[in-house]
Amino acid sequence: MNSKIIILGIALSAVMVASCVKDLDVKPKDPNTILEGNLNDNPVYMKQVLGKIYASFIISGQGTTQGGGDDITASDGNFFTTTRALWNCQEITTDEAICAWGDVGIADLNTQTWSSQNPFLTALYQRLILSVTYANDFIGKTNGSSDPATIRYNAEARYLRALAYYWAMDLFGNPPFTTEVDGVGKFNPKQIQRAQLFNYIVSELHAIEGNLGEPKFSYPEADKAACWMLLARVYLNAEVYTGTAKWDSCKLYCDKVINSGKYSLASNYRQNFSADNDGNHNPEMIFAWEQDGMHTQGYVGTTFIIESSSDAVYIRAEDFHGLTSNTNWNGNRSRIQFMNILVDTLATYGGGPIPSNDPLFSQCKDKRVFLKQKKSLNIPSASSSGDYGIGVYKFTAKKTDGSQAADYNPAYASTDFPIFRYADALLMRAEALHKLGDDASAVIDVNAVRERAYGDASGNITAGQLTDQFLLDERGREFYYEAQRRTDLVRFGKFTDGGYNWAWKGGIADGTNTDKHLNIFPIPGAEVSANPNIKQNPGY
């Protein structure tokens, strides 16, 4: 991200910010500071301010290096960044991950026993609304421009706002709602219902599609393909959000991505999670949050995933990931139930117990398996050490060939965090085709993904083997640790009930069904108390 400082004229509710100026007649002491009144003075300023909106999803605040000013008041700015909080909410609430740390709120997410006071939920909620507010301000100041570049920047800001609202809709159901028409200032936003927000997001994405750049025009900026992928994702989950399925629409936008001819599967699955995974080097990456070890420093995004999944004994970051400073936090690992989805024990070990002499599951034919056995495959308690469970080393700070990135830093990864990749276009389309009754076509997309995983056709399935359960499992195998699992489990009816349980779900060793109101997170209690327009979600 660009290192130039940006000051936007934004007042936020539920988020504490410090005043940047004390009178109306001011000039910045730092010539690199951009005041909102100067936004149109130089075309470069416009892109730099837009960069602030992008950055709001991945780093903690105004500074581009560790210790920069946080955008929200928090005991640890890195802890409560958007992508890090999103990852926790999407992963450790599921079978894919569990965290050993004792920080307030983590145990609640591990066991699906959270309340409206959970700090990670509060932080994620505030962060998403903050990104919406940044976008609203920028959109309001660039509406009506006839400059082609500004029109595109305006569309990108509207895309980022739609993306923030998508996550708010998916996670919280009925968030507060503002647009550039509301302006900024001290007022109580009104609440929007989930189905209405669905319609708004879809209409926004349709409206801006023509103003975005062509696919792959300038990674990592949002382009038409990123727009199509978000539309496909929203339509994929339409029945959850509105009660009405939209499989035809999901397929339509997956078709646009696939037929664009601009993307393909990376030949090596691991490239998607390595330091050379950016869209300039990787044909699969459609949209991602850019990370750079020199310029976007912080214990956030992929750095957080790598460090929190590493430990001093079983998965040393120095050995597996290439990071050597502040390593091995020994927090996140997977649960045995997910290991049984990812590792085909019948094909690999003849259905017998997993032998201890294959700690890296090297015999697996599916080369998406980046797991390692730890002290025990079973986790003895929800708060037990990270030495228990199944280690995951899917993300790395190294390049695909094991070498260091040009912008290598021993503490911070240069690996971008994937939001949309080409494999998702294939598997979303396969799910839509399956729901539309065309398994013969759906299986072609599934097998394209599996042939990359197996290196040949040995992992291919037939149309008769394509079921809802297979599609859910295949998404888990392809997208684990990419902050998608909770959304997928909810869509398939497996997150709270549905007969699928995992270790410590509901606070029980073998897992138990939980109440379905947990399929949506609560609106933070502080927001409900502060804003009379906001009603709490049912069950909380």
88-117 confidence digits (pLDDT tens): 999 999 999 999 999 999 999 999 999 999
The DSSP string of 431-485 is HHHHHTT-HHHHHHHHHHHHHHHHSSGGG---GGG--HHHHHHHHHHHHTTSS-H
pLDDT value, residue 463 = 98
For 227-265, give the DSSP string.
HHHHHHHHHHTHHHHHSS--HHHHHHHHHHHHHTSS---
Contact 209, 198 (CB under 8 A): no
E strand or H helix that includes residue 197: helix 194-208
- What pLDDT score was predicted for residue 69? 75
Phi, psi of 340 (to 5 degrees): -70, -20
d(CA 231, CA 228): 5
Write down the mean pLDDT value for the chain.
91
Read off the pLDDT of residues 337-369 as tens digits, 9 standing for 90 and up: 999 999 998 889 988 888 899 999 999 999 999
Average pLDDT over residues 39-54: 80
* φ and ψ of 135, to 5 deg: -65, -45
Quick one: CA torsion of 497, 501, 503, 508, rounded to 10 degrees? 50
pLDDT band per the 50, 70, 90 thresholds, residue 33: low
> What pLDDT is recorded for position 105?
95
Residue with tokens 């946080």: 70
| pLDDT of 440 | 98
Rounded CA Rg of the chain: 22
What's the chain's length in residues? Answer: 540
Q: Rounded to whole angstroms, how far apart are CA atoms 291 and 390?
A: 27
Q: Mention every residue, 6+ apart, whose C-beta is less than 8 A from residue 199.
A: none
> Between 331 and 31, whose confidence is greater?
331
Strand partners, 6: 34
**What confidence score (pLDDT) does residue 31 get?**
43
Structure tokens at 96: 């894919």
Query: What's the mean pLDDT in 518-524?
Result: 98
272 closest CA partner among 416, 98, 91: 416
Alpha-carbon distance of 73 to 262, in angstroms, equals 41
**According to the model, what pLDDT value does residue 296 have?**
83
Tell me the C-alpha distance between 36 and 40, whole Å: 9
Taking residues 308-334, report their average pLDDT. 96
Give 459-497 pLDDT, tens digit per residue: 999 999 999 999 999 999 999 999 999 999 999 999 999
For 437-458, the pLDDT digits (tens) are: 999 999 999 999 999 999 999 9
pLDDT band at 40 (very low <50, low <70, confident <90, very high): low
The pLDDT value given to residue 22: 26
279, 286 Cβ separation under 8 angstroms? yes
**Amino acid 347: pLDDT:** 87
Sign, Cα dihedral of 251, 253, 258, 263: negative
Rounded CA-CA distance 103/95 in Å is: 20
The SS3 assignment for 289 reads: strand
Token pair, residue 52, equals 């602030």
Spatial contact of 178 and 132, defined as CB atoms under 8 Å apart: yes
Report residue 37's pLDDT band, with 50, 70 and 90 as the boundaries: low
- Read off the pLDDT band of 29 (50, 70, 90): very low
The candidate with the shortest Cα–Cα distance to 472, out of 365, 351, 345, 337, is 337
Nearest to 480 by CA among 310, 335, 380: 335
Are 327 and 303 in contact by the 8 Å Cβ rule? The answer is: no
**Residue 336 confidence (pLDDT):** 97
What letter represents residue 266's amino acid? A
For the cut 90, the answer to whether the pLDDT of residue 11 exceeds it is: no
Q: Which residues, including other chains, have CB under 8 Å from residue 379's CB and lie 6 or more apart? A: 98, 335, 336, 388, 389, 503, 504
Band of the pLDDT at 76, cuts 50, 70, 90? confident
> Are 301 and 289 contacting, i.e. CB atoms less than 8 angstroms apart?
yes
pLDDT category, 38, cuts 50, 70, 90?
A: low
pLDDT digits 0-9 by tens, 259-301: 999 999 999 999 999 999 999 999 999 999 999 999 888 999 9
pLDDT on residue 186: 78
What pLDDT is stored for residue 41 in this prediction? Answer: 57
Helical packing angle, 119-142 and 148-172, nearest 10° = 160
Q: Is the pLDDT of residue 7 over 80?
A: no
The Cα–Cα gap between 110 and 91 comes to 9
pLDDT in tens, 209-251: 999 999 999 999 999 999 999 999 999 999 999 999 999 999 9
3-state SS string for 457-469: HHHCCCHHHCCHH
Give CA–CA dist 71/14, Å, rounded.
12
Helix or strand or coil: residue 282?
A: coil
337: how many CB neighbours lie within 10 A of its CB? 18
